A and B are shown apart, each in its own frame.
Chain A
Amino acid sequence: MPSPYNLEVEYNCSECRVRADRLFCNMSEDAVEALDSVKFTGLYPKGSLLFVEGEEPRGVFILCSGRAKLTTSSTEGKTLIVKIAEPGEVLGASATILGKPYEVSAETIEPSQLNFIKRDDFLKYLNTHAEACLHTAQQLSEKYHSAQREIRSLGLSQTTSEKLARLLLDWCDRGGEQTTKGIRLKVLLTHEEIAQMIGTTRETVTRLLSDFKKKKMIDVKGSSLFVLSRPSLENLVSV
């Protein structure tokens, strides 16, 4: 029987084949069995809102497959993307631990499998498994370092083209596929969303991408973006 959204679904964490590659999930059998007993597996289409900024924390979502964007709003009401979460990340952990409203909203940008753990269950789980505390701390520390990199890029970049070049280089490092044509990036974000990531307008992103294309730094084919000359993008970056 075909699985919903063509996802390869894994209902049992103990049998998950990619567990060892995941920072949070790579725990001992005992800890993973305990996790299995408190989590609820859910399959979500693209565009599903998992939690909303300002909402009281209900619990955490472990992103097993798919991707999600984490957004926040500026005081002027502008939507800003603070992070694209990748498989293996735990979403909503800081709000759940602090018992304070979610600081960001989370929405899937592709069909995703997520394991949800209710707040009380997650806190009890942490209280009884020091190993889970260590893995949660490592996961949160990674998120902190990633946010610091983003702050550095935003705060020290001199121009918007530098911010965009930096974002493309970051994507190359994270999931770029080397092809004969160049480094292929699967772009799941619209120009509007890219603008929300680097703090500019949709029009500027469209203009800059067209400019990069004219200069043969990139090429776009459907949802694929090819980085033709990585050194040219690197030359734009001073941070």
Chain B
Amino acid sequence: MPVPPQVIESAPHSSIADVLSAYETLQHVPAGKPLFREGTLPAGVWVLRAGEVELSCSSKGGDALAMQIADAGEILGLTSVVSGRAHDSTAIARTGCETGFIEKNRFLRLLEEKPGLWLTVLRMISKSINACWDCMRTLKA
């Protein structure tokens, strides 16, 4: 007999940071220091607790394009961890930042153990996509 599907209790948006706090390693990242670089495989996710991080990409010739500024509460590296793809951008601390790092496999296991986090993760990725559409509107106009 098929097992009835498990009902996922969705975590409130604000509580994801609280849930993750038990599993993260706190790190202070000084201004100007990178969290990850474009083209590298994802090591994990960074919950940005305080400060600002700039996401940018660069051309073969070294020209850089700032794409987004991430604020406290955002999770960086999420789409790369979920898809297993290399980072498409470089993340550099604009100010001194407090981050909570969770290693990739630990984070994926956590999603299995606490499926209620999934809908919040989906909302976060959806918001990132909307930010991309906004950026493209500006660049193509």
Q: Residues of A with Cβ closer than 8 Å to B?
A: 30, 34, 72-76, 78, 80, 82, 93-95, 97-98, 103-104, 126-130, 133-134, 136-138, 140-145, 147-152, 154-156, 196, 198-199, 238-239
Contacts and interface: CB of A to CB of B under 8 A. Distances in A.
B85 A98 contact: no
A104 B58 CA distance: 27
Contacts of A34: 5
Nearest to A153: B139
Contacts of B3: 30
Secondary structure call for the B interface? helix
B18 to A, nearest CB: 20
Given A128-B5, A155-B67, A156-B57, 6 more contacts: A74-B141, A82-B140, A103-B130, A126-B119, A130-B111, A137-B122
13 contacts: A74-B140, A80-B141, A82-B136, A130-B118, A133-B115, A133-B118, A137-B121, A141-B125, A144-B129, A147-B129, A147-B132, A148-B89, A151-B139
Interface residues of B, number: 45
Interface string B49-72: 000000001111101010100000
B77 to A, nearest CB: 11
Contacts of A148: 57, 67, 88-89, 132
Interface of B: 2-3, 5-8, 10, 57-61, 63, 65, 67, 78-80, 82-83, 85, 88-89, 111-112, 115, 118-119, 121-123, 125-130, 132-133, 135-137, 139-141
Contacts of B129: 94, 103, 140, 143-144, 147
Contacts, number: 146
Contacts of A142: 83
A127 B6 CA distance: 8
B24 to A, nearest CB: 20
5 cross-chain pairs, A with B, having the tightest CB-CB distances, nearest first = A94-B126, A199-B140, A74-B141, A147-B132, A133-B118
Given A140-B125, A144-B129, A239-B59, A74 B83 contact: no
B119 A97 contact: yes
